[in-house]
Amino acid sequence: MLESIIGTEITLIAFAVCMAVSLALGLGIAFLCMYKTRYTQSFVVTLAIIPAVVQMVIMLVNGNIGAGVAVAGAFSLVRFRSAPGSAREIGMIFLAMAIGLATGMGYVVLAVLFFVVMAAFVLALSTLRFGAGNEQERELKITIPENLDYEGLFDDLFETYTRSARLERVKTSNMGTLYELDYRVVLRDA
């Protein structure tokens, strides 16, 4: 049941089945990513095609170790050419890559089973709001000139509009001419 549908040689039927499963699961991953999060169209379209692209690359490599190492190197470069994403986006990319690897090796039932388990797990964690924390808590970044004394500068505003405010980090920016203050604040009820 969990064996590869690809034998010693890739047939047209095996390719078509792997491609159809890759595209269907890619759409599933895209829908999973769109569930209760903000997203861009380009990102979800990319997520939908990643499994098929990875599947094709794995089928072309097909046991050639040298080509496999070259492909791994090329995939590692992709990370440095793209803007950093959220943890959820990175997780979805890895999910798409894993499904593409499975379908590329012909393990379509395993890929479907893996997707179903991971999708159910992600949806359950999202529905249960696992790790959500306090909805009123926010991160506040304030940039001020370096010659301004920031100790207690915003206390009156924090007292009026927040239940609590904690300075978490101070760092310099703009070649040391500015301070960036990072506060963790809990807002008052409106």
Domain limits, the chain: 12-127, 137-187
Which comes out higher in pLDDT, residue 21 or 173? 21
Tokens 């920031």 locate to 150
**Could you report the per-residue pLDDT of 34-89, keeping only the tens digit for each?**
888 888 888 889 889 999 988 888 888 876 667 767 776 666 666 555 566 777 88
Q: How do residues 78-122 score in pLDDT, each as one tens digit?
A: 655 556 677 788 888 889 988 988 898 889 999 999 999 999 999
pTM for this predicted structure:
0.68
Could you write out the DSSP letters of every residue in the chain? --S-S--SS--HHHHHHHHHHHHHHHHHHHHHHHTTS---HHHHHHHHHHHHHHHHHHHHHTT-HHHHHHHHHHHHHHHHTS----HHHHHHHHHHHHHHHHHHTT-HHHHHHHHHHHHHHHHHHHHTTTT---TTEEEEEEEEETTS--TTTTHHHHHHHEEEEEEEEEEEETTTTEEEEEEEEEEPP-
The confidence score (pLDDT) of residue 130 equals 81
Percent over 70 (pLDDT), the chain:
88
Give the residue, 134 or 186, on which the prediction is more confident: 186
